[in-house]
Amino acid sequence: MTYFPEEVVERIFDFLATHRDRNAVSTVCKTWYRVERLSRRSVFVGNCYAVRPERVVARYPRLRSLTVKGKPHFADFNLVPHDWGGFALPWIEAAARGCPGLEELRLKRMIVFDESLELLARSFPNFKVLVLISCEGFSTDGLAAIATYCRVLRELDLQENEMEDRGPQWLSCFPDSCTSLVSLNFACLKGEVNAVSLERLVARCPNLRTLRLNRAVSVDTLSKILARAPHLVDLGTGSFTIDHRAEAYHKLINNFIKCKSLRSLSGFWDATPRCLPAVYPICGNLTGLNLSYAPAIQGADLIKLIRQCSKLQRLWVLDCIGDKGLAVVANTCKELQELRVFPSDVYGEGIAAVTEEGLVAVSSGCPKLISLLYFCHQMTNAALITVAKNCPQFTRFRLCILDPGKPDPVTNQPLDEGFGAIVQSCKDLRRLSLSGHLTDQVFLYIGMYAERLEMLSIAFAGDSDKGMVYVLNGCKNLRKLEIRDSPFGDAALLEDVGKYETMRSLWMSSCDVTLGGCKTLAAKMPRLNVEVINEMDESDELEENPSDLHRVEKMYVYRTVAGPRNDAPDFVWTL
């Protein structure tokens, strides 16, 4: 291969689809390294502190697409202080200097300021795609900058961000000349938008395929938009409330009927049962449906709707669908690949909406199911064993029993056997979240069987250090391990320190790890950042020089070639 001209080698590399493969070929020899880096178009940085932005930009000057992730996953559940870090600015600045051809930027769990967005908008003339997921720190002013300066913007995708609303003007900042939009998602925006601007924008973008509105957009506006854009493929409704006797309702139905390409529906805020029939005409074509923002739609109406969605591949619902509703899903949605059942009654004792029964039904009726997120009030080993037998093809299995540490209610046993069956049967399992009463035994099973496991989430589980050690010793593909409220201490942490360099990160909170243990780890492994997060609200002990025996409340360990970070706030100690 070294006798080929570099252009040829470059063409060959074009066929490499994954980051992993491209990373691999770059290590073969200096020539390949050079060819690879100069032809690399897309880079994925799983941890923004693992490498310096300048380094990335220097190595890949011809970068077109950059993806960066910031805070650890548990930040989603408020376990990470907001100002822990994960700033987007350094990345945008570096890219502005080194990769002027950047076209796509995707950020997850990062802090993005309006200034950063403005810099982004002005620095890249060819900028096409901006995706912000679970980010914070920006406002509609930042969006206005994007709208104003990104002349060829194709995608603006805002998912689950915390953003400040400074008025509806941003949408009007899209110039009349902007006709390139393919995807626009502002569902997480809390404020109003100008309906007329929105309609006009939709009307002048003939390639628009994805449109997700926010709650503030009325059904009236939705109806008009549908009339203008019947070619939509993915629609997120705004507030879905309408008097079903009114003429507007019939107009809405007619407009829906015209949307022959519609394949995915979401939104449905404030939807009531009587509004649902508006979407019946298109249900038969749907491959994706998200009703998880509509708590007023209860079992019977959900069932009526789902009975018509035989092509569904992805379904997100609230647990008011009930076991009965899940049985209907099992009977109807034979193409189902991903199911998410969210809790609707988080704190109340209420009626247990879904139990193990619903899950078993879906597992037996949906042969293509590979991804699951399931919140329920109880689970049994027998059910999990059945599910494991029915669905050996799971790649993502996240089960959350709402009561922490709850055992199998029938046998009173821990759920070790059930989860054990899952990991044993599902050879391709890449992601697993555990819950319920679990002993070290389940970790033994995971270590033994979960060969492909990349991400494991543990909460209120295990008896001793052995549990964690089983996992670290066994799961050779483990990339992310996050643990909370489990009795794992220094012995487990220090058992195999080299392991952490093969992983992206380790999070431990409310465990038994001490400051001394963390210091030891940091001393042994210079290429790891061992961060101890001390939120000093009540405990006075944790002032200056706390004892090494002191238990650490939150610890985040990650491999890095960038050394300790220079933007850590006071309460984060990098040891």
Partner 1 sequence: MQKRVMEEDFRKGEGRPQLLHLIPNERDWMVKEVGGGGKCFGVSKEKKLELRLGLPGGEDWSAVNDKREEHPVEPALSLGHYSKVSKTTGSNPSSVGAKRGFLDTVESKTEVFQQQQQHQPGFLQLQAKGKELSQKTNGRAEQQSLEKKASGSPVAHGSAAAPCGDAAGANNSSQTSRTATTPVVGWPPIRSFRRNLASTSKPSLESWNGGSETAVKFENGRKGLFVKINMDGIPIGRKVDLKAYDSYEKLALAVDELFQGLLAAQRDPLTAGIQKNPEEKQAITGLLDGSGEYTLVYEDDEGDTMLVGDVPWGMFVSTAKRLRVLKSSELSATSLGAVSRKRTAT
Nearest Cα to Cα of residue 189 among 159, 156, 149: 159
What separation in angstroms does the CA of 325 have from each of 153, 240, 375, 413? 41, 22, 15, 28
Choose one: 21-29, 224-232, 306-314, 352-360; the region binding partner 1 (CB under 8 A). Answer: 352-360
Nearer to partner 1, 229 or 278 (CB): 278
> Which two tokens mark 403?
């009561």
CB of 239 to partner 1, least distance (A): 7
Who's near 516: CB < 8 A, 6+ residues apart?
490, 548, 549
Q: Quick one: which of 374, 470, 488, 500 contacts partner 1 (CB under 8 A)?
A: 470
Instruction: Determine how many CB atoms are found less than 10 A away from the CB of residue 575.
Output: 18
CB of 360 to partner 1, least distance (A): 8
Strands 338-342, 396-401: pairing is unpaired
Is position 380 an interface residue for partner 1 (rule: CB under 8 A)?
yes
Is position 243 an interface residue for partner 1 (rule: CB under 8 A)?
yes
Strand partners, 557: 506, 530
Nearer to partner 1, 176 or 538 (CB): 538
Cα–Cα distance for residue pair 406/571, rounded to 1 Å: 34
Q: Quick one: which of 70, 85, 288, 407 contacts partner 1 (CB under 8 A)?
A: 407
Nearer to partner 1, 243 or 548 (CB): 243
Phi, psi of 157 (to 5 degrees): -125, 105
Choose one: 97-105, 106-114, 265-273, 523-531; the region binding partner 1 (CB under 8 A). Answer: 265-273
Footprint (CB under 8 A) of partner 1, residues 536-555: none
Cα–Cα distance for residue pair 202/223, rounded to 1 Å: 12
Residue with tokens 């913007």: 153
Q: Quick one: which of 226, 306, 327, 421 contacts partner 1 (CB under 8 A)?
A: 421
Choose one: 192-200, 254-262, 468-476, 561-569; the region binding partner 1 (CB under 8 A). Answer: 468-476
DSSP per-residue string spanning 208-234? --EEE--TTS-HHHHHHHHHH-TT-SE
Is position 345 an interface residue for partner 1 (rule: CB under 8 A)?
yes
| 28 to 47: interface string for partner 1, x by CB under 8 A | --------------------
Footprint (CB under 8 A) of partner 1, residues 297-336: 298, 318, 323
Phi, psi of 248 (to 5 degrees): -55, -30
Q: Quick one: which of 5, 177, 245, 537 contacts partner 1 (CB under 8 A)?
A: 245
Who's near 545: CB < 8 A, 6+ residues apart?
none
Q: Quick one: which of 173, 233, 448, 497 contacts partner 1 (CB under 8 A)?
A: 448
Nearest Cα to Cα of residue 266 among 336, 186, 196: 186
> Which two tokens mark 186?
């502002």
- Helix H or strand E encompassing 25: helix 19-25
Choose one: 30-38, 61-69, 237-245, 279-287; the region binding partner 1 (CB under 8 A). Answer: 237-245
CB of 72 to partner 1, least distance (A): 12
Nearer to partner 1, 36 or 301 (CB): 301
Nearest Cα to Cα of residue 375 among 433, 416, 460, 310: 433
Identify whether the C-beta of residue 446 lies closer than 8 Å to the C-beta of residue 421. Answer: no
Q: Quick one: which of 164, 403, 553, 567 contacts partner 1 (CB under 8 A)?
A: 403
Strands 371-376, 338-342: pairing is parallel
Nearer to partner 1, 160 or 548 (CB): 160
Is position 133 an interface residue for partner 1 (rule: CB under 8 A)?
no
Choose one: 52-60, 104-112, 173-181, 400-408; the region binding partner 1 (CB under 8 A). Answer: 400-408
- CA-CA-CA-CA torsion sign (197, 203, 209, 213): positive
3-state secondary structure of 483: strand
Q: Quick one: which of 116, 214, 239, 529 contacts partner 1 (CB under 8 A)?
A: 239
How many residues does this entry show for the chain? 575
Is position 402 an interface residue for partner 1 (rule: CB under 8 A)?
yes
Q: Quick one: which of 346, 498, 538, 566 contacts partner 1 (CB under 8 A)?
A: 346
Is position 340 an interface residue for partner 1 (rule: CB under 8 A)?
no
Q: Quick one: which of 474, 483, 508, 557 contacts partner 1 (CB under 8 A)?
A: 474
Nearer to partner 1, 270 or 335 (CB): 270
Is position 15 an interface residue for partner 1 (rule: CB under 8 A)?
no
Instruction: Give exposure, 235-268, as e/b (b: 16+ Cβ within 10 Å).
Output: bbbbbbbbebeeeebebbbebbeebeebbbbbbb
Choose one: 117-125, 178-186, 396-404, 525-533; the region binding partner 1 (CB under 8 A). Answer: 396-404
Choose one: 96-104, 116-124, 348-356, 558-566; the region binding partner 1 (CB under 8 A). Answer: 348-356
Nearer to partner 1, 204 or 427 (CB): 427
Is position 409 an interface residue for partner 1 (rule: CB under 8 A)?
yes
Cα–Cα distance for residue pair 139/415, rounded to 1 Å: 45
Is position 378 an interface residue for partner 1 (rule: CB under 8 A)?
yes
Footprint (CB under 8 A) of partner 1, residues 54-83: 74, 76-79
CB of 154 to partner 1, least distance (A): 27
> Which two tokens mark 368?
């293509």
Identify whether the C-beta of residue 505 lies closer than 8 Å to the C-beta of residue 558. Answer: yes
Is position 410 an interface residue for partner 1 (rule: CB under 8 A)?
yes
Footprint (CB under 8 A) of partner 1, residues 266-295: 270, 272-274, 292-293, 295
Is position 132 an interface residue for partner 1 (rule: CB under 8 A)?
no
Is position 437 an interface residue for partner 1 (rule: CB under 8 A)?
yes
> Which two tokens mark 394?
């799971």
Footprint (CB under 8 A) of partner 1, residues 99-118: none
Nearest Cα to Cα of residue 327 among 292, 289, 355, 352: 355
Is position 385 an interface residue for partner 1 (rule: CB under 8 A)?
yes
Instruction: Determine how many CB atoms are found less than 10 A away from the CB of residue 282.
Output: 21
CB of 482 to partner 1, least distance (A): 10
Specify the amino acid at residue 61: P
CB of 162 to partner 1, least distance (A): 9
Is position 244 an interface residue for partner 1 (rule: CB under 8 A)?
yes
Cα–Cα distance for residue pair 254/248, rounded to 1 Å: 10
- Helix H or strand E encompassing 6: helix 6-14
